[in-house]
Amino acid sequence: MGIFFFIRNEGTDYSYLKKLYKKNEKLDSIPENSFPIKCLNGTFVGKEKENVISYKGIPFAKPPIKNLRWRPPVECDNSDDIFEAYAYQKSPVQRHGEGEAASFYEIGEDCLYLNIWRYNDGEKNKPVMVFIHGGGYGWGGTVDPTYDGHNFVKDHKDIIFVTITYRVSILGFMDLTNIKGGESYKESPNLGMLDQVQALKWINKNIENFGGDKNNVTIVGESAGGGSVTMLPLIKGTKGLFKRIISQSGSFCWNITKEEGKRVIANLKSEIKKYRKEEIDMDYLLSLSEEEIINLNLKLNDYCLPPMRDGYIIPEDCYGEIERGAYDGIDLIIGSNRDEVKYYRILFGCFFNMAIRLYVENIIYHRIEKNGVEIFNKFKKCVDNPIENFLNDIYFRGPALKIAQLHSRNKNNTYCYYWTYPYFIPQFGACHAVELTYVLNNLQLNAALGDKTINYKLAQQAQNMWVNFAKTGNPSTEEIKWEKYDEKNQYFMIFGKETELKKDIFSKERDDIILPLMEKYIPYQAAELSLNVPMMKKAALISLTIFVLIMSLFLRKFLK
C-alpha 493/C-alpha 474 separation (Å) is 13
- Nearest CA to 261 out of 525, 543, 557, 481 is that of 525
Q: How many CB atoms lie within 10 A of CB 228?
A: 27
**How far apart are the C-alpha atoms of 171 and 298, rounded to whole Å?**
12
Residue range 230-284, pLDDT digits in tens = 999 999 999 999 999 999 999 999 999 999 898 888 989 999 999 898 989 999 9
State how far the Cα of 196 lies from the Cα of 209, in Å rounded to an integer.
20
pLDDT bin (cut points 50, 70, 90) of residue 542 is: low
* Parallel/antiparallel/unpaired status of strands 160-164 and 113-119: antiparallel
365: burial class by Cβ within 10 Å (0-12, 13-18, 19+)?
middle
Residue 554 pLDDT class (50, 70, 90 cuts)? low
* Amino acid making up residue 285: L
Is residue 10 predicted with pLDDT exceeding 50? Answer: no
Q: Name the DSSP letter for residue 54.
A: E
Q: Residue 473 CB: number of other CB atoms within 10 A?
A: 17
Tens digits of per-residue pLDDT, 425-468? 999 999 999 999 999 999 999 998 899 999 999 999 999 999 99
Look at 535 and 107; give whichever has higher pLDDT: 107
Q: Write down the number of H helices and E strands in the chain.
A: 20, 14
- What does the alpha-carbon distance between residue 508 and residue 397 come to, in Å, rounded to a whole number? 14
Q: Model confidence over 403-422: pLDDT tens digits?
A: 999 999 999 999 999 999 99
Q: Please give the average per-residue pLDDT across 494-511, as a whole number.
A: 97
Q: How far apart are CA 436 and CA 495, in angstroms?
A: 12
- C-alpha 149/C-alpha 216 separation (Å) is 18
For residues 352 and 267, what is the distance between their CA atoms, to the nearest angstrom? 26
Average per-residue pLDDT for the chain: 92
Q: Which amino acid is at 503?
A: K
Instruction: Give yes or no for a contact between 247 and 400, defined as CB atoms under 8 angstroms apart.
Output: yes
Question: How far apart (Å, rounded) are the C-alpha atoms in residues 407 and 333?
Answer: 11
pLDDT, position 12: 39
- Look up the pTM and report it: 0.94
Query: Residue 548 — very low, low, confident or very high, per pLDDT cuts 50/70/90?
Result: low
The mean pLDDT of 81-109, rounded to a whole number, is 94
Concatenating the DSSP letter of every residue in 241-271 gives: S-SEEEEES--GGG-B-HHHHHHHHHHHHHH
The reported pLDDT for the residue numbered 553 is 61
